């Protein structure tokens, strides 16, 4: 039909036809798959959701005399330093060890974690650095304190081990006390439900078998350019799938990488879940080249064709009981029925911002600022999901 | 007209059937938005009063004469538009659906008149975009 090289040629001449995935879904209803596939070159998808398995690599530059950092805090949040002398890795869920002395109240600093520090650096704000070194003949300094910004450090890039979940769960609480979870507060007796995937506009639900997305795929990451680096942690492509190939629960994941210096604080936000901890809300956009009609068939999937399992968080086990599957059309209506009871359901992914990312990426491609890449390797689709059991397997996944 | 006020009851006034008096003596309807009333403790009542403007003023005057504290500036929920990411998490805990997502755009809507200032949304918001003005 068309190759990535041909599409890139059109992008460079600013003649590529680019539609957001929602435009594609609507036009497939009007004119059918074949006509859409003939017209459109690139389909853009996007999501904006908390992605806690994210982190930033920083190289702060050498001091004089030099230091081999062994312990380090950024605004009181510990960063891992077990690499080269001044290389740091700051994780999004890392909580502050101590409050920073800038007059913010104690409560404020308890709610601050690595995600907030990463977001502040991207926003151009100064961050306090405190480091303790191991004195050696190469590195004679024992400690160092300074203030850094994104412009005073060498490398600053996000390297996120698990982003872009292909589908997720719906959390509820069937117990009798409130629970504070990574999906926010879950009220007792099925008081509310929370889902965290934007459904039919979500990138990986529109390429269910990862035929287009692979290692090296260029993406929109936090408002800058990023790449798919590897399969994500807990990548589980063997999840059960519907006939339309979309998974019925958490499945494929991707590790992403991208230059944080180019990112925009609009698309990277620190966040905090009460009594759970900090995280990072991140915007990711993925372009899908229309190489065949099959691409459009997959992108035509609608919220009523996608499902997620309703999981009861009141049972604190790895395999929690479920109340069955619910469609994203039902979830987006704001109400679902569980055991005959009507339960209000709220999203955690921002559908509003997810759409804006798909539109922004469309604009980048239409104006010739973003070209597509051919994956250098496919993401493995045969990974099983191993568990770490203390007492041996008691409940199997299936 | 309507007026939203916060009433602070001293211990000895807690036993007074205030909403009954407002209705009977002043023809003022009191819609209770929030209440915290315990025997022998200072009580707080957030009410929306509706009635004729003169009778409303007379009712407020009468309550003041009964040593009931009246605060016109009631606590309100504020949403920081810059910080809000429209994730919608708050809509699931809002008991009156004052916070809702537009079914088409999925933008967060706040209908102030429905808000009972229960403040459950404040700690729920992951980006600290919700606060009160007091």
Question: Which ipTM score applies to this complex?
Answer: 0.91
More confident residue, A377 or B3: A377
Read off the pLDDT of each residue in A193-217 and give the average, rounded to a whole number.
Answer: 97
The reply to whether residue A350 touches residue B100, judged by beta carbons under 8 angstroms, is no
Is the pLDDT at A389 greater than 80? The verdict is no
- Report how far apart, in Å, the C-alpha atoms of A87 and of each of A56, A125, A136, A157, A255 are: 11, 20, 17, 12, 20
Task: Indicate which of B82, B98, B126 best probes the interface with A, i.e. most A CBs within 10 Å of its own CB.
Answer: B126
A331 touches chain B (CB under 8 A): no
Count how many pairs of residues, chain A against chain B, have C-beta atoms within 8 Å.
75
| pLDDT given at position B42 | 84
Residues in CB range of A97: below 8 A, 6 or more apart: A73, A76, A77, A78
| pLDDT given at position B134 | 62
B96 touches chain A (CB under 8 A): no
| pLDDT given at position A384 | 85
CB A304, CB A292: distance < 8 Å: no
Mean pLDDT of chain A: 94
Domain borders along chain B are 2-71, 77-132
B103 touches chain A (CB under 8 A): yes
Query: Which fold does the domain B2-71 belong to in CATH?
Result: Alpha-Beta Plaits (3.30.70)
A113 touches chain B (CB under 8 A): no
The residues facing A297 across adjacent strands are none
CB A4, CB A373: distance < 8 Å: yes
A301-330 pLDDT, tens digit each: 999 999 999 999 998 887 888 999 999 999
Q: How many residues does chain A have?
A: 398
Task: Indicate which of B80, B89, B107, B125 best probes the interface with A, i.e. most A CBs within 10 Å of its own CB.
Answer: B89
The residues facing A270 across adjacent strands are A280
To the nearest whole Å, the CA of B48 is away from the closest chain A CA by 27
Mean pLDDT of chain B: 89
The reply to whether residue A334 touches residue B91, judged by beta carbons under 8 angstroms, is yes
Catalytic residue list of A? 138
The reply to whether residue A273 touches residue B126, judged by beta carbons under 8 angstroms, is yes
Is the pLDDT at B119 greater than 70? The verdict is yes
To the nearest whole Å, the CA of A185 is away from the closest chain B CA by 7
Q: Which of B85, B91, B123 sits opposite A269 (nearest CB)?
A: B85
B95 touches chain A (CB under 8 A): no
String of DSSP letters for A111-125: T-BHHHHHHHHHTT-
State which residue of chain A sits closest to B96, comparing Cα positions: A344
The reply to whether residue A345 touches residue B92, judged by beta carbons under 8 angstroms, is yes
Read off the pLDDT of each residue in A195-222 and give the average, rounded to a whole number.
Answer: 98
A15-56 pLDDT, tens digit each: 999 999 999 999 999 999 999 999 999 999 999 999 999 999
| pLDDT given at position A73 | 97
Read off the pLDDT of each residue in A73-100 and give the average, rounded to a whole number.
Answer: 94
Q: Which of A270, A344, A349 sits opposite B87 (nearest CB)?
A: A349
Is the pLDDT at B60 greater than 70? The verdict is yes
Is the pLDDT at A395 greater than 80? The verdict is no
Q: Which tokens hold the place of A114?
A: 């690595």
Read off the pLDDT of each residue in A243-269 and give the average, rounded to a whole number.
Answer: 97
Read off the pLDDT of each residue in B44-73 and give the average, rounded to a whole number.
Answer: 88
Domain borders along chain A are 4-52+163-373, 61-153
The vertex-A161 CA angle with A159 and A165, nearest 5°, equals 120
DSSP one-letter code for A328:
H
A353 touches chain B (CB under 8 A): yes
Read off the pLDDT of each residue in A56-79 and give the average, rounded to a whole number.
Answer: 97
What is the Cα–Cα distance from B125 to A111, expressed in whole angstroms? Answer: 12
DSSP one-letter code for B91:
G
| pLDDT given at position B36 | 84
A132-171 pLDDT, tens digit each: 999 999 999 999 999 999 999 999 999 999 999 999 999 9
Read off the pLDDT of each residue in B114-130 and give the average, rounded to a whole number.
Answer: 93
A259-286 pLDDT, tens digit each: 999 999 999 999 999 999 999 999 999 9
| pLDDT given at position B120 | 93
Q: Among 3.40.50.620, 3.40.50.300, 3.40.30.10, 3.30.70.20, name the CATH number for the domain at B77-132.
A: 3.30.70.20
């Amino acid at each position: 039909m068309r190759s990535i090289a041909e599409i890139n040629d059109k992008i460079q001449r600013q003649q590529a036809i680019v539609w957001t995935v929602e435009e594609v879904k609507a036009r497939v209803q009007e004119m059918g798959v074949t006509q859409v596939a003939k017209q459109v070159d690139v389909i853009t998808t996007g999501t904006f959701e908390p992605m806690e398995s994210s982190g930033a690599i920083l190289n702060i530059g050498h001091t004089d005399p030099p230091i081999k950092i062994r312990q380090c805090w950024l605004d009181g949040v510990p960063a891992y330093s077990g690499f080269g002398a001044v290389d740091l890795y700051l994780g999004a869920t890392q909580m502050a060890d101590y409050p920073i002395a800038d007059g913010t109240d104690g409560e404020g600093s308890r709610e601050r974690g690595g995600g907030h520090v990463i977001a502040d650096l991207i926003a151009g704000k100064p961050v306090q650095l405190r480091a303790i070194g191991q004195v050696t003949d190469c590195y004679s300094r024992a400690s160092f304190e300074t203030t850094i910004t994104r412009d005073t450090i060498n490398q600053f890039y996000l390297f996120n081990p698990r982003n872009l979940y292909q589908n997720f769960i719906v959390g509820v609480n069937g117990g009798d006390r409130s629970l504070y979870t990574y999906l926010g507060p879950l009220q007792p007796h099925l008081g509310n439900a929370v889902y965290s995937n934007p459904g039919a506009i979500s990138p990986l639900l529109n390429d269910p078998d990862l035929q287009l997305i692979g290692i090296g795929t260029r993406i929109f990451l936090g408002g800058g350019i990023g790449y798919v680096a590897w399969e994500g942690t807990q990548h589980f492509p063997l999840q059960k799938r519907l006939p339309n190939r979309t998974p019925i629960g958490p499945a494929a994941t991707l590790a992403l990488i991208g230059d944080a210096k180019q990112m925009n604080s609009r698309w990277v936000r620190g966040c905090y879940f009460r009594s759970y901890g900090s995280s990072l809300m991140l915007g990711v956009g993925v372009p899908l080249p229309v190489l065949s009609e099959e691409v459009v068939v997959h992108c035509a999937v609608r919220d009523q064709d996608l499902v997620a399992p309703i999981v009861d968080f009141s049972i604190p086990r790895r395999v929690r009981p479920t109340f069955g599957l619910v469609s994203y059309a039902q979830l987006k209506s704001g109400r679902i029925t569980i055991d005959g009871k009507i339960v209000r359901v709220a999203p955690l992914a921002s559908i509003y911002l997810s759409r804006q990312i798909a539109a922004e990426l469309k604009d980048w491609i239409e104006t010739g600022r973003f070209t597509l890449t051919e994956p250098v390797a496919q993401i493995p689709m045969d990974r099983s999901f191993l568990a770490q059991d203390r007492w041996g397997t008691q409940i199997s996944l299936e | 007209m309507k007026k939203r006020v916060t009433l602070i009851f001293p211990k000895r006034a807690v036993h007074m059937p205030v909403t009954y008096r407002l209705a009977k003596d002043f023809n003022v309807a009191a819609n209770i938005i929030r209440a915290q009333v315990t025997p022998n403790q200072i009580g707080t009542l957030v009410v929306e009063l509706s009635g004729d403007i003169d009778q409303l003023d007379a009712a407020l005057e009468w309550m003041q004469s009964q040593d009931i504290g009246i605060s016109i500036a009631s606590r309100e929920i504020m949403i920081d538009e810059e910080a809000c990411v429209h994730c919608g998490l708050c809509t699931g805990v809002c008991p009156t659906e004052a916070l809702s997502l537009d079914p088409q755009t999925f933008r967060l809507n706040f209908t102030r008149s429905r808000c009972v200032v229960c403040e459950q949304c404040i700690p729920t918001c992951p980006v600290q975009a919700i606060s009160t003005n007091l």
